Structure 1
């Protein structure tokens, strides 16, 4: 980490905790995507997790903090959500400082507990689909707003913007666009009508972990209110989830019949985001989802 940036962050930590911050070491954390770099500040009695980036919108980390607060209130004791300390800017850098969560390898009942916890999250409902403010998914702006219809919201605020970006960047064809638009027209008859649930919004295996408290943790959200099958579909798209996750979730909050057959449609937005930001590796998956339309 840049020495001047580190000094600025330590000063802010000391102002926040009203005490001397006794730093032991600075470690690079694994890459976390979205152009962010991450570090662990080892200290006593609390260590901190720091994200930094350059060139992102000024509210990039602010929106993440808002999402973390929403998740924390919703899941209470069922899941661990990182507690943000503050975010800020320094000489072109943006940074977010959070309390470090002590992670460990998944225990035998990790996925069962995670399924139960996500069911509790999804029981938090709202009277509209979307969110009062826009936020981000990866590096992209995620348009929200308030919608009465899930099909309209998913079409206008999720699928079509990413579809247009992919077409403009020549990552999908005109035929692909036609098929995706045909899917969007049919969405009202393809998707179940449920109350809008609070979603994690970027729910893949890289954004969950077990903790030394033996309570699953979720992080790096892109929250909004939507159909809960979106989070389930994202978990299936990226893989890595044990079947006990889905069994536990369904035992606590049963999904509407036919959810497995709707996985592809509910993965469409995430697939387009992946194509736009990480290249063509997911193009064949897109073709699989949209064939027949």
Structure 2
């Protein structure tokens, strides 16, 4: 691995000697390293047997969020687009973490990011949600995008890998057919992080919040907020300061379980039946 790390550093133009290289936490599906050279420290992710766009999707997502000039993200120095079973790396800025509470600022800045909009829903290239490939296209309707590229996509994954049986599939298909009963067709097409749970934001040593590991798309900002409530990691102060900038729509509570359904399907398809009861409970509510 040291040889591959050296190759990555050479690709980004740092030929100085490595002082320290060690495994660190921060990647469930990647090997992650703290690497310090004579020039600077880096955070490097390494994986293999991944599609060419695996690290590109993350790097481009971070670039889009940075260009919104609303909230900080780590700098990206290099990413590989591997072929076949090659190893691939993503080299990023090393962030010294802090303990200062930043939920107020996080709420304000996520809301400001969501205020960056476009006239279509979805995204122009595939991304990832966890380890699962996430196909995307631009759609004129949010309902169409959410039905086809989120709920139906995960239904097909689940049927293929056996996590979604016949009855669950029937219920999902009925819900998808009636989705426009609850989901708005034309909300604002907000810039969304796409995987905003408590582990995908951090605070630097100055107390500034940063977003990491995005799976960007443009869609209903209520979709993002619903996910933040699913597994926790965000204080009431986050929501209070968010709503001061960008109020939640009147339909939020009615649609929240439907938006959380996508992420529960993802977890069902990755981790298995422990998430099945939560999926079925939502289906029972709406079907």
TM-score for the superposition, normalised by structure 2? 0.93
**2:226–2:260 CA contact under 8 A, matched in 1:** yes
Corresponding residue number in structure 2 for 1:274? 267
**What pairs up with 1:21-100 in 2 under 5 angstroms?**
21-33=16-28, 35-44=29-38, 46-74=40-68, 76=69, 78-88=70-80, 92-100=86-94
Question: Does 2:101 match 1:102?
Answer: no
Q: Is the 8 A contact 2:228 2:234 kept in 1?
A: yes
| Alpha-carbon distance in structure 2 between the residues aligned to 1:10 and 1:194 | 43
Q: State how far apart, in whole Å, the 1-side matches of 2:94 and 2:183 are.
A: 39
Residue 212 of structure 2: aligned partner: 219
> What is aligned with 1:146?
138
Of 189, 200, 219, 2:181 maps to 189
SS of match in other structure, 1:161: helix
Aligned length: 283
Distance in 1 (CA, whole Å) between partners of 2:94 and 2:181 is 44
Q: What is the RMSD computed on CA atoms of the aligned residues?
A: 1.8
Q: Does 1:122 align with 2:121?
A: no
The answer on 1:8 being equivalent to 2:7 is: yes
Deviates more, 1:166-175 or 1:195-204: 166-175
Secondary structure of 1:291's aligned partner: helix
| Equivalent position SS for 2:117 | coil
2:178 aligned counterpart, secondary structure: helix
> Could you list the per-position Cα deviations for residues 210-246 of structure 1 after superposition, in whole angstroms to 9, with x for gaps in the alignment?
1112111101000011111111111111212111111
Indicate whether 1:256 and 2:249 are aligned.
yes
Greater than 4 Å deviation, 4+ residue runs: none
> Contact 2:32/2:43 (CA < 8 Å) preserved in 1?
yes
Change over 3 Å in CA distance of 1:7–1:169 after alignment to 2 = same
> 2: CA distance between counterparts of 1:10 and 1:73?
25
Q: Distance in 1 between matches of 2:150 and 2:208?
A: 31
2:104 aligns with 112
User: Which moves more between the two structures, 3-12 or 238-247?
Assistant: 3-12
Following superposition, the deviation at residue 31 of structure 1 comes to 4.5
Output the CA distance in 2 between the equivalents of 1:232 and 1:22: 44
Q: Within 1, Cα distance between the matches of 2:177 and 2:45? A: 40
What CA distance in whole angstroms lies between the structure 2 residues aligned with 1:220 and 1:264? 23
CA contact under 8 A between 2:147 and 2:176: conserved in structure 1?
yes
Unaligned runs of 5+ in 2: none
Rounded to whole Å, the distance in 2 between the matches of 1:282 and 1:82 is 32
Segments of structure 1 that go 5 or more residues without pairing to the other structure are none
Native 8 Å contact 1:151 1:184 kept in 2: no
Partner of 2:221: 228
Which secondary structure does the structure 2 equivalent of 1:62 belong to?
helix
Verify the 8 A CA contact 1:46 1:99 in the aligned structure 2. Answer: no
